[in-house]
Structures are given as C-alpha cells and as structure tokens.
A and B are shown apart, each in its own frame.
Chain A
Amino acid sequence: MNELEYATAVARIRVHETRLLGADKIEQLIAAESYRDALKRLGDLGYDVQSGDASVILKTEQQNAWQLLCEIAPDKSELEFLTVRNSFLNLKAALKCVVSGLEADAYFCAPANVPDETIVSAATTRDFSLLPEYMQDVAERAYTILTTTGDGQHADVIIDKKSLETYLDFAARLRDESLTKLAQFTVAAADMKIAYRCAKTANDAAFLDDALVACDEVDCGELKTAALAGEEEVIDCIARLGYSEAAELLRTSPAAFEKWCDDFVLSTVQGAKYEAFGFLPLAGYYIAKENEIKTLRIVLAAKENELPAEMIRERVRMLYV
C-alpha cells in the first residue's frame, strides 16, 4: 500500500504517543505507597481504573489501543502482523481444550487475526480447512499428536515453530526494514531461549529440530550442537553469535535475559517515532503500548505483593517515550 495513505493514521498516532507513559511516570508508580495508591496515580495518568482490578484495567487499555489501530489503519490486513502469533496461541488452547473437554474461551488471547469462533469450530469439527492456509497442516499434525500420543509439549513445539515461521513471512510481506529486523530478532530470541531450556532439560536432537526456527540472526545448527552439549555451551554460543550482553545476562538470571529481549524488541521500532508515513508508526505505537502494559503489570503485581522498589526497577522494561 502507498505509504502516503497512512498520513491520517500517523497523525492520530502521534497524538496518542504523547499519552504513553515515560520513565518518570513509571517511577511515580513505583514510588507509590501502596497498590491502591499506585492505581490512583495510574488513574491520574489517564487509565480507566474504576474497576480497581489491575488485570481488567490493563486489558481494557490494550483493547482500546487495538480498537484505535483497527479504526485508523487504511489496510487492515497489515495489522495481522501484530496478531498472527496470538492466533497460534489460541489454536494451541483450542486443540488442548477440545481434547480435554474444556471450554477454550477462557484461555484465548486477544487480539487475534483468526476469529475465536473459527478456531473453536475448526478444532471441534476437525475441519481444519476453516483455518487460514498457513495454520491448516500444523493444526492437523498437532491434533493427531494430542489424540494419539497425548504429548502436549510436542504439539506446543510444532505450533510455536509454525507461528514464528508465519510471523517471519508476514514481516517479509510488509517490506519494512525495522519490522523485518523485529521479526528476525523475535525468532532469534525464541531460538536462544529454546536452546537454553533444552540444555537444562536435556532434550534430544529430534526435539531441537522440531523446535528451532531458521532465521538470519542465529545459526540453528550451532545452537542445536550447543544445546546438546549443555547450558554453558549455549551461553558461549549466544555470545559467539553476537549477543554477548544477552549471554552474560542469561548467566545471571533468565528474568534479566527476558528483560533484555523485550528492550531489544522495543529498540528496533524506536525509529517509528520519526517516520511520517507508512505502517511502521502504527506498529511501533502498538508494540510500545503492549510494552507499557507489560511494565505496568510488573509494577502493579509487585505493589500488590509489597515488593521493594529496587526489585521492581530491575524488572521495568525500556519505554518508548
């Protein structure tokens, strides 16, 4: 799509960017005396805190951000890049719930590009042709695994792999350098986490083959060899692949590594603030909003559990503004 078609949408996003929370606002929340006080301060910052429940407040805020994007995006199909991975998460939930006789709705993530009803209908009727083409084969395979071997982890792994491959495809279609880099890094980070966890749990080579996703950022063969050799080898391998800072953090704590990954993702879309046209500013805003919500979830959960401010600050993500 012609990037000039985004002129209206980008202008509106610029106004909404001014409402994103900066580091000073997050610090105010951390400094709040109690959970209630933090919620009150969040209300002063423009959040609808009437419910008094952090999960409801944050969910509403995310829904509002998504509705804004749906309202202003001139090409709705480009938004699928932001939601396609949620559809795969919903597929996992639906298949498991169908096999175990549970209601899937409670486990669904939003927003997703495939309607919840379609996924539930495909899973319950085993008519996977109802799903988009990129989901059909993996849904069939996962269902077969769940109903024959009952190996939920294996089903998860193949769906996760297809999810990341589809994410890369969607990014490539957007022809945007920053979003391609974002998708490539997301897959690379997933591969690093898979290799580290597999090394910890001593998974075999076949499992790694099913789990690791090929991308431009990391060499899956090298990661696989390292994962089979042990945790230290994985950390060394990550350092050799050019992520020495991440390797050091992984050695310290997986939580620090997760934070580094989130910060890196946000840094890849920072340039969106300076783009006047195109899809990137919309994607950048939504990723920034998701990041803000994730940060608020950490802060509010910590406040509710009366954790010390220093511990919260260690976990607070980099912010967009």
Chain B
Amino acid sequence: MKFLASNYGIILVWLGVACAALFPGLGSAKGVGIVGRAGAGLLTEKPELFGKVLVLEILPGTQGLYGLLIGIIIMNRSGVMGAVGAPMDAIHGMQYFLAALPIAAVGYFSAIHQAKTAAAGVGILAKHPDRNGNAITLAAIVEMYAILAFLVSLLVVINIK
C-alpha cells in the first residue's frame, strides 16, 4: 500500500499507456479478423479480388496504430521512458491517464464498427467489384471518429505542463 501511495502518479501514467495501447489494439485485432473472415469468403469465390479486399481489411487496423502512438507520446512526454523512477505527482499522472481515454474507448469501438461496415462492403465487392470505392468510403467515414479521438488525446498529452 505504501508503494502504491508513493508511486500513484507513475502508476496512473503506465495505466494510461496500457489503455492507449491495449483497447484500440484489441478493437483492431477483432476488426481485422471480422473483415478477414468476410474477405476469405469472397476470395474463395473470386480470388482475383484480393487487392480490393486487402484495402478493406487494413482499415480497422489503424486504430491500433493510433493507440500505440498515443502510448509512446505519453511515455515520452511524462518522462517515464527515459528516466526510470522519475517523480510524478498524482495530478499529472491522472492527466496522462485521462488523456489516454479518448483513443482507448473510441479506438476500441470504432475499430469494431468500422470492421462491420467494411465486412458489409465485402458484400458490395462480391456483387459489384468495380464499386470498391463505395465500400472503402463507407468504412473510411467511421475512421473519422477514431481520428478525432486520436487528436483529442494527442492535444491533451502535449498540453500537459
């Protein structure tokens, strides 16, 4: 308990890093899997559409990258990466933790929803292979919310004094 009390700030920072990397990563893994399954179904029938399916499958993977970036930036800005055992008060620790939440939550859910949209887009490809632009656009619109969350997390992290 004494250890926790004296390292409360640093624990919160690491918790923020973990959330930023973990949840969007989980969402992306699940999302890429969903689109991958739909894509595998389509490629069984039409292997020539591999390139178009690949673009759709990649889309839900970006949330994991956003989370990873925020995690790295938090580690860098808070000083926990370069200086092990650097002092960190609870207020600052809490600020870093809260900064990670937008990308953690939005990244997770948007990856899954984007995957569902992209998997539905695989259905468009199945019937109209020339309309892959429509399928990509529909899935990419979901991406916008992950980008917004990424920007919020980024702005909060770089403005913590």
Residues of A within 8 A of B (CB): 4, 7-12, 14-18, 72, 276-277
Cβ A16 vs Cβ B45 within 8 A: yes
Complex Cα distance, B39 from A158, in Å, reads: 47
- The interface residues of chain B lying within 8 Å CB-to-CB of A276 are 38, 116, 119-120, 123
Complex Cα distance, B120 from A276, in Å, reads: 5
Complex Cα distance, B46 from A14, in Å, reads: 11
Q: Does B65 contact A (CB under 8 A)?
A: no
Pairs across A and B, CB under 8 Å, 10 listed: A10-B123, A11-B39, A11-B45, A11-B123, A12-B41, A12-B42, A14-B127, A15-B46, A18-B126, A276-B123
Contact of A15 among B35, B39, B40, B126 (CB under 8 A): B126
- The interface residues of chain B lying within 8 Å CB-to-CB of A9 are 41
- The interface residues of chain A lying within 8 Å CB-to-CB of B42 are 11-12, 14-15
A10-B38 contact in complex given A18-B127, A277-B119, C-beta closer than 8 Å = yes
Q: Does B111 contact A (CB under 8 A)?
A: no
- The interface residues of chain A lying within 8 Å CB-to-CB of B44 are 8, 12
- The interface residues of chain B lying within 8 Å CB-to-CB of A72 are 41
Q: Does B26 contact A (CB under 8 A)?
A: no
Q: Does B122 contact A (CB under 8 A)?
A: yes
Chain B residue nearest in CB terms to A281: B123
Which 6 A-B pairs have CB atoms at the shortest separation, nearest pair first?
Answer: A11-B41, A14-B126, A276-B120, A8-B41, A15-B45, A7-B38
Complex Cα distance, B65 from A257, in Å, reads: 59
Complex Cα distance, B35 from A4, in Å, reads: 10
Q: A11-B41, A14-B123 are in contact. List 19 more A-B contacts (CB 8 A).
A: A4-B119, A7-B41, A7-B119, A7-B122, A10-B41, A11-B37, A11-B40, A11-B42, A11-B122, A11-B123, A11-B126, A14-B42, A15-B42, A15-B46, A15-B126, A18-B126, A18-B127, A72-B41, A276-B38
Residues of B within 8 A of A (CB): 34-35, 37-42, 44-46, 116, 119-120, 122-123, 126-127
Cβ A7 vs Cβ B45 within 8 A: no
Complex Cα distance, B45 from A72, in Å, reads: 12
In the complex, what's the smallest C-beta–C-beta distance from A268 to chain B, in angstroms?
Answer: 20
- The interface residues of chain A lying within 8 Å CB-to-CB of B41 are 7-12, 72
Cβ B34 vs Cβ A4 within 8 A: yes
Complex Cα distance, B39 from A10, in Å, reads: 10
Complex Cα distance, B123 from A295, in Å, reads: 26
In the complex, what's the smallest C-beta–C-beta distance from B24 to chain A, in angstroms?
Answer: 19
Complex Cα distance, B46 from A15, in Å, reads: 8
Complex Cα distance, B35 from A276, in Å, reads: 11
In the complex, what's the smallest C-beta–C-beta distance from A8 to chain B, in angstroms?
Answer: 4
Cβ B34 vs Cβ A7 within 8 A: yes
- The interface residues of chain B lying within 8 Å CB-to-CB of A15 are 42, 45-46, 126-127
Chain B residue nearest in CB terms to A15: B45
- The interface residues of chain A lying within 8 Å CB-to-CB of B34 are 4, 7
In the complex, what's the smallest C-beta–C-beta distance from B59 to chain A, in angstroms?
Answer: 15
Chain B residue nearest in CB terms to A4: B34
Complex Cα distance, B152 from A130, in Å, reads: 64
Cβ A12 vs Cβ B45 within 8 A: yes
In the complex, what's the smallest C-beta–C-beta distance from B25 to chain A, in angstroms?
Answer: 19
- The interface residues of chain B lying within 8 Å CB-to-CB of A14 are 42, 122-123, 126-127
In the complex, what's the smallest C-beta–C-beta distance from B93 to chain A, in angstroms?
Answer: 37
Task: Report which residue of A4, A10, A11 has the largest number of chain B beta carbons within 10 angstroms of its beta carbon.
Answer: A11
- The interface residues of chain B lying within 8 Å CB-to-CB of A16 are 45
In the complex, what's the smallest C-beta–C-beta distance from A100 to chain B, in angstroms?
Answer: 46
- The interface residues of chain B lying within 8 Å CB-to-CB of A10 are 38, 41, 123
- The interface residues of chain A lying within 8 Å CB-to-CB of B46 are 15
Complex Cα distance, B83 from A102, in Å, reads: 89
In the complex, what's the smallest C-beta–C-beta distance from B121 to chain A, in angstroms?
Answer: 9
Chain A residue nearest in CB terms to B45: A15
In the complex, what's the smallest C-beta–C-beta distance from B155 to chain A, in angstroms?
Answer: 34
Complex Cα distance, B122 from A166, in Å, reads: 35
Cβ A17 vs Cβ B127 within 8 A: yes
Complex Cα distance, B41 from A95, in Å, reads: 42
